[in-house]
Amino acid sequence: MATTAPSEPTPPSEPMIRTEPHIYVELTYSPLDTAATIARAKSPEAGAVVLFLGTTRNTFASLPVLGLTYQSYVPLALSTLLSIARSILSTHSLTSISITHRLGEVPIGEESIAIAVSAPHRQAAWRGGEEALEMTKERAEIWKLERFDGGEGVWRANRDGVMGVRVGEGDDREKRRGSYHLQD
């Protein structure tokens, strides 16, 4: 197995952000700014703010994970995140919602996803935040590559929780790392 550490993709020239009133969704190659995520959700109309941080874990099925890399089909994932945010905002009558997911290499212990929601009262905020995370994991077009001790890389699949597909031998992974943008 000769899966090498993927190189950092070139940061995109334009921000990967979609916004509309009360909604903010973003993909970024930079470390997540959790204070900014909370600040975006806060409002004088909201008595409750719930923040979820997903951090990268150092094991999968008790095997040591050396590193993780996220890949995305950016324009499609942004549309999906916007659609999820609209749905959650409406279903739970939230005041606002912010979903940010990191791409590229994410060191162990750092945040890969930050979701903040606010609502007039706590029940809606708890439930809306949880549902936003579950829908994102189920639908957003983002893929996680876990690299295990020995250099083996595995693409995870949230749907079934199994190991996913083992990366082939001797491939030129560096060239294939990163994300796609539509050409305007």
Partner 1 sequence: MTSVKPPPGHFALLYFAAASDFTKRNAETIPAPVRAIELFQVLDQRYPGIKNKVLSSCAVTVNLQYVDLDGDDAADKELVIKEGDEVAIIPPVSSG
User: Is 122 annotated as ligand-binding?
Assistant: yes
Considering only residues 20 to 79 of the shown chain, the ones binding partner 1 according to CB under 8 A are 54, 70-71, 73, 75-76, 79
Query: Binder to partner 1 among 9, 34, 66, 127 (CB under 8 A)?
Result: 9
Q: How many CB atoms lie within 10 A of CB 60?
A: 17
Applying CB under 8 A, which part among 17-25, 38-46, 88-96, 160-168 lies near partner 1?
Answer: 160-168
Q: Which two tokens stand for residue 52?
A: 């979820």
**CA-to-CA distance for 6 and 173, rounded, in angstroms?**
6
Considering only residues 87 to 146 of the shown chain, the ones binding partner 1 according to CB under 8 A are 101, 112-113, 133, 136-145
Applying CB under 8 A, which part among 40-48, 58-66, 118-126, 164-172 lies near partner 1?
Answer: 164-172
φ, ψ of residue 133 to 5 degrees: the values are -65, -45
Of the two residues 15 and 47, which places its CB atom closer to partner 1 in the complex? 15
The torsion angle over the Cα atoms of residues 101, 135, 138 and 72, rounded to 10 degrees, is: -30
Q: Judged by CB under 8 A, does residue 152 bind partner 1?
A: no
Which ranges of 5-102 would DSSP assign to H, the alpha helix?
Answer: 34-41, 74-91
Of the two residues 122 and 137, which places its CB atom closer to partner 1 in the complex? 137
The minimum distance between CB 174 and partner 1, in angstroms, equals: 11
CA geometry: angle at 73 spanning 35 and 58, to 5°? Answer: 55
Q: What 3-state DSSP class applies to 69?
A: strand
Residue list, annotated binding site for substrate: 121-122, 137, 144-146
